[in-house]
Amino acid sequence: MAVAPLSAPLFIGSEIYRGSSYGGRHPLAIPRVSTVMDLARALDWLPPAQYRTSPRAKPAALTAWHTPAYVAALQRAEKEGAVSPATRARHALGTLSNPVFPEMFRRPATGAGGVMLAAELLRGGGVVHVPGAGTHHALPDRANGFCYINDPVLALLHLRALGLNRIAYVDIDAHHCDGVVAALAGAGDMLLISVHEENRWPFSGALGDDGGGNVINLPVPRGFNDTEMAAVRERLILPALAVFQPQAVVLQCGADAVQEDPLSRLALSNAAHADMALALRAAAPRLMVLGGGGYNPWTVARAWVRVWGALNGRTMPDRLPASARAVMSALGWHRRGPDAAPLPGWTDTLADAPRPGPLRPVVADRVAHLRGRLRGLRGAMDALRAGGLVGQQR
């Protein structure tokens, strides 16, 4: 029996993110998902009918990609509040990047449960936003880059398990999605596209790395601006999706590419994220939007709430109402010092001013180079058509 599409976008969140922190000196000491929830509700953009509480994925579900030994080690580290030197060496738990903290299993398992629920909800089509997900660096047997469980990989695998055979993953985080590529490079039913800052950790995702044919890597220079992102979207990402004809798109919408983020040197406004989400919504019948990076508590909340509002057709307010300003004014940020005030606009607006700039030759040339790869993608799609796969389960 056919499943009806969602009548409105759904938001998957959880109270586990409220007060959960990687530790006071870690970049993820800041509140993120809880602020997004509070800000969206203060704007009356998150009615109960559009909200779902994320379940926590069971350990067995995580072994769809992670090893049982690693999942057990992660659970044990949370229970004991410490790791042995052997566990630290084998699984990269208890390091400066991937510290032991009270919710270190339950929090990422909640993100994983959220994407699995999102995949189920998207059976008939629609849009689901899971800002607590997007941890794209985790490896099968190791934590990596602040990521303990790779929920984007689990989302893609779950969509596949539901019977979809053309799934696209688009990642606009400032950092390359090395864990997702490690999992799914060479998968004929997946198209993986990453736009990330060049010469930045994890120092993967080179322009010439095609992952066996299904990976499009676009490293971009410092100062990457709204004009350049629009060109990438219109000249590369949307044409690639038009060729691939995905049944579902998963967007990793990391907010660390916004200009004020401390862990990148890109120069986007949060309009770039909203515009990308809207464009991808039109490119496939199913869209799952994840969070990801974002280390400035004001800009990450504004970016993800702006995306949620755009997906719902909301008009961006010129000035936040008092209830929303109160949410933003209550935030602090240890990196700016205990008495540092937020910059103008961080507490009383939602939409950044546009940040246009030149389309630099280095960006245009790399886009043109990658567009040449679309001929190969067309050939692969011709093979799928010959096998009767294209056009099924739209």
Instruction: Find how far residue 32's CA is from the centre of its chain.
Output: 13
Rounded to the nearest 10°, the torsion over CA 252, 146, 66, 291 is -20
Tokens of residue 221, six digits: 């220079």
**DSSP label at residue 337:** -
Check residue 199 and give left, alpha or beta (phi > 0: left; psi -120 to 50: alpha). left
Can you give the pLDDT at residue 341? 78
Q: Counting beta carbons within 10 angstroms of the beta carbon of residue 31, is it exposed (0 to 12), middle (13 to 18) or buried (19 or more)?
A: buried
CA distance 206 to 188: 20
The verdict on pTM exceeding 0.85 is yes
Determine how many CB atoms are found less than 10 A away from the CB of residue 75: 16
230, 275 Cβ separation under 8 angstroms: yes
Q: Which CATH class is domain 10-61+103-386?
A: alpha beta
CA distance 379 to 391: 16
Can you give the pLDDT at residue 360? 98
pLDDT tens for each residue of the chain, 394 residues long = 578 999 999 999 999 999 899 999 999 999 999 999 999 999 999 999 999 999 999 999 999 999 999 999 999 999 999 999 999 999 999 999 999 999 999 999 999 999 999 999 999 999 999 999 999 999 999 999 999 999 999 999 999 999 999 999 999 999 999 999 999 999 999 999 999 999 999 999 999 999 999 999 999 999 999 999 999 999 999 999 999 999 999 999 999 999 999 999 999 999 999 999 999 999 999 999 999 999 999 999 999 999 999 999 999 999 999 999 999 999 999 776 666 679 889 999 999 999 999 999 999 999 999 999 898 777 666 665 666 655 444 5
List, in order, residues 6 or more apart from 39 with CB less than 8 Å away: 301, 302, 305, 324, 327, 328
> What count of residues does the chain have?
394
Domain residue limits, the chain: 10-61+103-386
Tokens of residue 278, six digits: 């809207």
List, in order, residues 6 or more apart from 10 with CB less than 8 Å away: 50, 51, 52, 118, 121, 126, 127, 128, 129
| Closest alpha carbon to 10 in 53, 39, 42 | 53
∠ at Cα 48 (8, 123), nearest 5°?
Answer: 40
End-to-end C-alpha distance for the chain, whole angstroms = 15
Can you give the pLDDT at residue 334? 79
For 39-42, the CB contacts below 8 A with 24+ separation are 39/301, 39/302, 39/305, 39/324, 39/327, 39/328, 40/11, 40/305, 40/308, 40/309, 42/320, 42/321, 42/323, 42/324, 42/326, 42/327
Can you give the pLDDT at residue 113? 98
List, in order, residues 6 or more apart from 248 with CB less than 8 Å away: 122, 159, 164, 167, 168, 284, 285, 286, 287, 288
